[in-house]
Amino acid sequence: MYEGAVQDLIDELGRLPGVGPKSAQRIAFHLLQIDGPDAQRLADAITRVKDTIRFCARCWNVSEAEECRICQDPRRDPAVLCVVEEPRDVLAIERTREYRGRYHVLGGAISPIDGVGPEELHIRELLARVGEEPVEELIIATNPNVEGEATASYLSRLLTHHDVRVTRLASGLPVGGDLDYADEVTLGRAFVGRRELGA
Amino acid sequence: MANYRDQGIVLRTYKLGETDRILHLLTQGRGKVRAVARGVRRPGSRFGGRLEAFSHVDLQLYEGRNLDTITQAELLAPHARIRTDYAASAAASLMAEVVDHVAQEGERDHAVFLLLRSGLQALDAEPADPAIFVDAFLLRLASAVGFHVFTDACAVCRTPGAHVFLSVKAGGALCADCAPTGTRAVDRPVIDAVALLARPGEWTVLPGLARDQPAARATAASYARSFAEHHLDRRFRAYDAVPRP
Ligand SMILES: [Zn+2]
Ligand SMILES: [Zn+2]
């Protein structure tokens, strides 16, 4: 244990995702050594982000205004919604430059074992959007793990009686990899998700 | 630190750092094991999809001070259909949560291992009503760890017979002499339903019970929950997520 202020900083850093006690200590002592203005810039950036960034009232992406840039962009197709778990998934999909529709950020995934149910996510808001906006297709892009699959299955059940096409992002072989290195689960999913070639 | 090999069922996972996961496993030989799978969240990881929750895997590990580390994983049964159905996935989560709570590190428990494996197999067969397997699992697991529900003899005086007073705390059906005043008397089909849920090995008869005796089943189901939560001393979070008819 260290003196008051240093220990407080270590404790705060240790609460960040992916930062263990050792890393928290290392970062804290790094911050102690950097120049005053550098440290101030970091502190300002944190304060500014908390003051100016909120969640988009429509899609729950991070936003500096009432609605985010994607929701406000008239060139984005309002008939297609891509449903993701977190705002950082929006960034990942935007980087592909393949997608021209809009988003809906759930704010997590259903996890019964952690007590996270559908009510904890922005699912009610998604249903409202499907009712009010000219949505024709929902692309469910939750993570291909237990929680993401449970969420996808829950949503597809929920939306069976709505007049909207529900699709799931394909899972399969990593591009550039060798087939014989793929595990059975991934290869099995790739078979299920195979598609027609040509024409 | 020693290397060892064991087979296990993945109960649950926690994210660790950027690309790792901590896994809770129920192993055949060492009871509960907590282990790290390095890089498993990176696409194209050598573990691929083998270490997802509910997978039954053959593992190579080495012992650490706190956590063991998984070095190899071969799939024995992926139980992949569970993960693509919300109701089955919620039911499997409840089974995993209960086992994670009762299993002890370093304590081999073959009965619990077999029960979990057969429960997951039942859920992987795309059942119409996964909740009935949860009801059965709760009573069978309680029995496997020493809390057997009495249905064909009084739980207190052990007098055989078709008793109709049903108590959670006393451990099952009670005769009229042993039942404290205020103990609930139930219809005999409820006791029969509890008996069927608790009987080891029988999974295939359960959908028939759900179909033919919906009222008795519903009462027996809520009894199973109270029984397991009382004797295992815990409220199970995943229980309410399992859709019920
Ligand atoms: Zn938006
Ligand atoms: Zn008695």
The interface predicted TM-score (ipTM) is 0.89
**Residue B175 CA, ligand 2 centroid: distance in Å:** 4
Least confident of A169-173, B13-17, B27-31, B91-95: A169-173
CB of B242 less than 8 A from some CB of A: yes
**Residue A117 is assigned to a structural domain of this protein:** yes
| CB-CB neighbors (< 8 A) of B84 in chain A | 149, 153
For residues A98 and A134, membership in a common domain is answered with yes
Structure confidence by residue, pLDDT tens digits, A111-122: 999 999 999 999
| CB-CB neighbors (< 8 A) of A20 in chain B | 17
Give me the mean pLDDT over the B139-157 stretch.
Answer: 96
What pLDDT band is residue B18 in, cutting at 50, 70 and 90? confident
| Chain position carrying tokens 């580390």 | B69
Give the pLDDT score at A199: 57
Question: Phi first, then psi: what are they for A167, rounded to 5°?
Answer: -120, 160
For residues A78 and A164, membership in a common domain is answered with yes
Q: Where are the domains of chain B?
A: 3-78, 81-240
Indicate if B81-240 has the same CATH topology as B3-78: no
Give me the mean pLDDT over the B25-48 stretch.
Answer: 92
Pairwise CB contact (< 8 Å): A112 & B46: no
**Residue A67 CA, ligand 1 centroid: distance in Å:** 5
Give me the mean pLDDT over the B113-119 stretch.
Answer: 97
For residues A43 and A76, membership in a common domain is answered with no
What pLDDT band is residue B1 in, cutting at 50, 70 and 90? low
| A56 alpha carbon, distance to own chain's centre | 14
Q: Specify the CATH class of B81-240 in words.
A: mainly alpha
DSSP state letter for A10: H
Number of structural domains found in chain A: 2
Distance CA B156, CA B179 (A): 9
Query: Residue B186 above 60 pLDDT?
Result: yes
Give me the mean pLDDT over the B148-163 stretch.
Answer: 96
**CA-based nearest residue in chain A for residue B85:** A153
Q: Which ligand is nearest to the CA of B157?
A: 2
Pairwise CB contact (< 8 Å): B52 & A189: no
For residues A159 and A80, membership in a common domain is answered with yes
For residues A26 and A98, membership in a common domain is answered with no
* C-alpha dist (Å) from residue B208 to A45, A155, B121, B201, B202: 62, 29, 18, 15, 12
**Residue A63 is assigned to a structural domain of this protein:** no
Give the pLDDT score at A80: 97
CA–CA min distance B114, chain A (Å): 21
Report the 10 Å Cβ neighbour count for A189: 20
Q: Which residue has the higher pLDDT, A171 or A102?
A: A102
**Residue B88 CA, ligand 2 centroid: distance in Å:** 39
Give me the mean pLDDT over the B133-149 stretch.
Answer: 97
Structure confidence by residue, pLDDT tens digits, A83-114: 999 999 999 999 999 999 999 999 999 999 99
Query: Residue B77 above 60 pLDDT?
Result: yes
What pLDDT band is residue B212 in, cutting at 50, 70 and 90? very high
Give the pLDDT score at A106: 98
Structure confidence by residue, pLDDT tens digits, A62-76: 999 999 999 999 999
Query: Residue B13 above 60 pLDDT?
Result: yes
Give the pLDDT score at A178: 82
Q: What is the mean pLDDT of chain B?
A: 95
| CB-CB neighbors (< 8 A) of B80 in chain A | 185, 188
Total count of residues recorded for chain A: 199
Give the pLDDT score at A151: 97
Residue A121 sits in which domain range? 72-168
Considering CB atoms only, which of B13, B78, B90 is closest to A112?
A: B90
Query: Residue B19 above 70 pLDDT?
Result: yes
| CB-CB neighbors (< 8 A) of A182 in chain B | 48
Query: Residue B125 above 80 pLDDT?
Result: yes
Q: Which residue has the higher pLDDT, A71 or A191?
A: A71
**Residue A175 is assigned to a structural domain of this protein:** no
Write b or e for each residue in A7-41: b if 16 or more Cβ atoms lie within 10 A of its Cβ, otherwise e: eebbeebbeeeebeeeebbebbeeeeeeeeeeeee
Q: Domain B3-78: which topology?
A: OB fold (Dihydrolipoamide Acetyltransferase, E2P) (2.40.50)
The pTM of this model reads 0.89
10 Å CB burial of residue B6 (0-12, 13-18, 19+) is: middle
Strand order in the sheet with B165-167: B172-174, B165-167, B184-185
CB of B12 less than 8 A from some CB of A: yes
Pairwise CB contact (< 8 Å): A146 & B53: yes
**CA-based nearest residue in chain B for residue A156:** B86
Q: What is the mean pLDDT of chain A?
A: 92
